[in-house]
């Protein structure tokens, strides 16, 4: 992987994650004196004048006021909320889809509280029946997430795997699995 395409977590002055940028952009912010480097990676980048250890997490020296983001209801956001896990059998691998807990034919609506991540096997078995009719139970009731990441949802989920970023990314119920609180 090209070291200049690695991701860098950008924090607001109050340590709130607000963006993910590449190393080129982060080094530009460092050279302009706009950020402090909080964590580095093991990669050293060489310029004509100096060697720079690649940043992993930077914090803005000034506060950027941002409006509260709204989270769109989408397949990707349902999968992320449910940690890419079938809410009926617990399977995490294979083809996943979205299921209406209360089928549309019975008045079930397309909303956060009625949609869950589901594997194709369970979705085929459930079809347009109710949970009681097929004997299924939900791992947890579906809810609208109370917290919305400023950074892209996909990059947020990937970033949770980065050890240095974990201290700065909120672990809130409905976004990211077993350690959510």
- Tell whether 85 and 63 lie within a shared domain: no
DSSP 155: H
- Tell whether 7 and 57 lie within a shared domain: yes
Give the pLDDT score at 32: 93
Residue 30 in domain: yes
At 121-145, the pLDDT tens digits run 999 999 999 999 999 999 999 998 8
- The count of domains in the chain is 2
Q: Give me the phi and psi of 156, to 5 degrees please.
A: -60, -45
- How confident is the model over 164-179, as a mean pLDDT? 58
The answer on pLDDT for 155 being more than 80 is no
Single residue among 118, 134, 150 that ends a domain in this structure: 134
Residue 105 in domain: yes
Give the pLDDT score at 93: 72
CATH of the domain at 80: 1.10.30.50
Residue 161 in domain: no
Cross-strand bridge partners of residue 119: 96
Q: Which domain holds residue 92?
A: 75-134
């Amino acid at each position: 992987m090209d070291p200049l395409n690695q991701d860098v977590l950008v924090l607001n002055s109050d340590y709130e994650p607000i963006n993910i940028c590449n190393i080129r952009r982060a080094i530009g912010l460092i050279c302009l004196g706009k950020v402090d480097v909080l964590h580095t990676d093991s990669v050293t980048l060489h310029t004509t004048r100096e060697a720079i250890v690649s940043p992993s997490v930077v914090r803005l020296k000034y506060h950027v006021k941002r409006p509260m983001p709204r989270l769109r209801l989408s397949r990707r956001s349902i999968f992320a909320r449910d940690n890419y896990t079938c809410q009926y059998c617990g399977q995490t691998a294979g083809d996943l889809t979205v299921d209406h807990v209360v089928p549309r034919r019975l008045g079930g609506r397309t909303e956060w509280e009625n949609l869950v991540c589901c594997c194709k096997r369970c979705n085929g078995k459930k079809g347009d029946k109710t949970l009681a009719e097929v004997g299924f139970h939900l791992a947890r009731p579906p809810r609208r997430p109370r917290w919305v990441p400023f950074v892209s949802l996909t990059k947020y989920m990937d970033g949770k795997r980065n050890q240095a970023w974990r201290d700065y990314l909120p672990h809130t119920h409905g976004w990211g699995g077993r350690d959510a609180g």
